[in-house]
Amino acid sequence: MPPSTTDPRPPRAVRPTGRLAAALLRLLRPGRTAPRPADPPNRLALDLDDCRRELARWQRHADSYERELTHVARDRAHLLAWLAALHPSSAVITPVADEGPGGTHLLRLVAGERPLSWRLPPVDLPLFAHVPHEDRAAAQLQRDGPRDPDQAAHILRHTRLLALEGALLAAFAEPRPPVRPTELRRRPADP
């Protein structure tokens, strides 16, 4: 019997055989959609576990950044204590006017004929034991506000000036002749 023109199926000789072929034909028939896999019964629990893993991962990142920030703040405090030791005649610590005696303090000093100031948290104050403290009444006469916006530019100019001065002094210093290996002193052997 010849194939019907209304039958959408291919002729029997062309049709695939077997279970796999039958399943493919069921999936590819027009008007049919693939069956949806069933949602796992504990899908919300799996999503919650994924969210908890993401939270733990981001918490590790935040903890790492917090440790790095603490390290940088401590390095800043050590550098400021060193800078205050280099300027002993002008360095002074004053309490911030709107905070109590245990609160934030200001490190003030003069460098390059210009007053500079930095806020110091209470945890860093032990590093500044070598810097004299000024009482609040004298501190009221000075500026307690935020840093001068030109402070960073002044520090940069002053640093360049000091580096240039060091380069000039090194250029005019008398060069030393190189030491020959035969001129090195030999230590006598211990008896």
Q: What is the pLDDT of residues 59-74, one digit of tens each?
A: 999 999 999 999 999 9
What pLDDT is attached to residue 92? Answer: 95
End-to-end, the C-alpha distance of the chain in Å comes to 121
Residues of the chain with pLDDT under 50: 141, 144-146
72 vs 101: CA distance, rounded Å: 25
How many whole angstroms separate alpha carbon 166 and alpha carbon 172? Answer: 10
pLDDT for the residue numbered 144: 46
The string of pLDDT tens digits covering residues 166-177 is: 887 777 776 666
3-class SS of residue 161: helix
Distance CA 95, CA 105 (A): 4
Q: According to the model, what pLDDT value does residue 130 have?
A: 93
